[in-house]
Structure 1
Amino acid sequence: MRSNSIRTTVLAASALLAALSLTACSSGDNGSTSDNGKAGAAAPAANSAAKQAQPPAAAPEDATDVDAGTQNGATAKPKTIAQPATNAKSGGKGATGSTDRASRKTGNSTTPVTCTGANTKTAVSKVTRPVNHLLLTVTNTGNRTCYAYHAPKLRFDDAQAVFPILDASRPQAVVTLDPGQSAYASIGLSSGEDDQNNLHESKNLGVYFSGRNAEGSTGTPANLTLPAGTSWGDNGFVTYWQTEMADALQY
């Protein structure tokens, strides 16, 4: 009797254990009760392997090129294209200064100036034709082009008035003299209206140069010694400067 009771208890306990085992197996298949189960631990490992197998994302086509020094996690910086170094001989402050000095030198040697006694040599000579005429020759002795403006203004000895200028001899353009070139003006000492018995004899001649506006004179005058026996009348004249000697002597 007692033996049957023990056997029945054992069988009941076995049945209970079997039921509990079935319940545990059913709960483990869902994988939601614990992260430490075999099924739960296998999922993260699989996900990690999948991530490692994925290829790196392709860079966009317009991505900025970077220096090699940024490959190991450093911040990427755009490449800077190196500019060529400035050549001191062809540019820069030194070259500019040299160019400026050269320009100033060139400007000084080429900018025309007014012809005066300081940059010219003036001569007076007697001519056979026309009669009672002298010839003035002015030559540019400077290193710059000069303008022989208008007509020379003449003063015989200590005469109070400037010798009359013949307006009909005015040229079409200002006479320009390069270094070494000459211009000419003729002096008509007297005319038929002068009393040949009442002429003024002179030994010296002052030649004054006109400026652009023809008013007064400018620069240094030329002081010349006249040919012996030079006499002039009140109706004499001097022409404008001419580029050709023949043009000056036609009056």
Structure 2
Amino acid sequence: MRARRIRLIAATGATLAALALTACQDGTGTKDEGASRPTATTSTGRPTATPTSTTGTPDTAPATTTPGKPTTSNGKVPASARKPAPEAGPRKTSDPDPNAPENRVLCNGSNTTVTAQPVSRPVNHMLITVKNTGSKVCDLTYYPVLRFDEMQWAPQPFEDSKPQAVTTLAPGESGYAGVLLSSADGSGDGGTTGRRLTVAFQGATPNSSGGASATPSLPAKGVYYDSSLRVTYWQREMSDALAY
């Protein structure tokens, strides 16, 4: 009886060992409910990443877009949708052209110094010099209007002396006018000596006022003139002013 029980126990142990070996070979062994779950593997045997919970905090905030403007994944407007920078216009210079007509003024007694000096050649002539002492370019228009003392008439100009363009003086430059005081052959009449001279300047139109007059000094003995008194248009060169 005892020998039979021993054989039964041995047979039972052999049977259990065979079952355990079979379970290990076909992968159907008994599961342990208390053990942790193994990491899932792919068909290649490599472990796969554990999926992230949808309730967790995202790594980056969603891109903010502006209605009507396309954006990239990082929330920036793509270069193709940006407005091109406006083209730069012509640069404005801080210094205007001093010779432009709108930046010039009239030469007159307020922005010039005027001298009147008799000359030896040609005879019976006087030279009027106007120097621009202002800060702007000024125009000497037409010819000077001369008046000795209280004379009631104005000498006429030599029309042949009219320049092709208005005589323009930059600051520091000078313009000239020649004056025939009396005829060399004595054909003039009403000769007298002038002791005070007024030089008036014309404006943009003939015989209009160009501003303040000047009263240049005359020699102490005065200046003799007669009805032949005439004057040239304003000139750039002294030689041109004394050519008539």
Q: Same fold (TM over 0.5)?
A: yes
Query: What residue number does 1:132 align with?
Result: 124
| Pairwise CA distance, 1:107 | 4.4
| Pairwise CA distance, 1:109 | 6.1
Judging changes above 3 Å, is the alpha-carbon distance between structure 1 residues 215 and 229 closer, same or farther for their aligned structure 2 residues? closer
Find the aligned partners of 1:81 and 1:145 in 2 and give their Cα distance: 55
| Pairwise CA distance, 1:142 | 0.6
Query: What residue number does 2:148 align with?
Result: 156
Q: Secondary structure at the match of 2:160?
A: helix
Q: Which runs of 5+ in 2 are unaligned?
A: 1-59, 72-76, 83-90
Query: What residue number does 1:20 align with?
Result: none
Judging changes above 3 Å, is the alpha-carbon distance between structure 1 residues 174 and 133 closer, same or farther for their aligned structure 2 residues? same
Q: Which runs of 5+ in 1 are unaligned?
A: 1-67, 84-98
Q: Secondary structure at the match of 1:168?
A: helix
Q: Residues 22-60 of structure 1, C-alpha deviation per residue, up to 9 Å, x if partnerless?
A: xxxxxxxxxxxxxxxxxxxxxxxxxxxxxxxxxxxxxxx
Find the aligned partners of 1:163 and 1:215 in 2 and give their Cα distance: 13
Query: What residue number does 2:218 align with?
Result: 226
Q: Which has the higher helix share?
A: 1
Kept after mapping to 1: 8 A contact 2:156/2:231: yes
Q: Secondary structure at the match of 2:122?
A: coil
Find the aligned partners of 1:221 and 1:108 in 2 and give their Cα distance: 28
Judging changes above 3 Å, is the alpha-carbon distance between structure 1 residues 109 and 168 closer, same or farther for their aligned structure 2 residues? closer
Find the aligned partners of 1:158 and 1:174 in 2 and give their Cα distance: 30
Kept after mapping to 2: 8 A contact 1:109/1:143: no
2:171 maps to which of 179, 187, 190: 179
1:117 aligns with 2:114: no
Find the aligned partners of 1:135 and 1:171 in 2 and give their Cα distance: 17
1:246 aligns with 2:215: no
Kept after mapping to 2: 8 A contact 1:132/1:190: yes
Kept after mapping to 1: 8 A contact 2:70/2:78: no
| Pairwise CA distance, 1:108 | 9.4
Q: Secondary structure at the match of 1:160?
A: coil
Find the aligned partners of 1:204 and 1:127 in 2 and give their Cα distance: 18
Q: CA RMSD in A?
A: 2.9
Find the aligned partners of 1:132 and 1:178 in 2 and give their Cα distance: 31
| Pairwise CA distance, 1:241 | 0.6
Judging changes above 3 Å, is the alpha-carbon distance between structure 1 residues 231 and 112 closer, same or farther for their aligned structure 2 residues? same
How do 1:61-140 residues align onto structure 2 when only pairs under 5 Å count? 69-70=61-62, 78-79=70-71, 80=77, 103=94, 106-107=95-96, 111-140=103-132
Q: Counterpart of 1:248 in structure 2: which amino acid?
A: A
Q: Identity across aligned pairs (percent)? A: 41
- TM-score, length of structure 2 as denominator length: 0.60
Find the aligned partners of 2:159 and 2:175 in 1 and give their Cα distance: 17
Find the aligned partners of 1:154 and 1:207 in 2 and give their Cα distance: 5
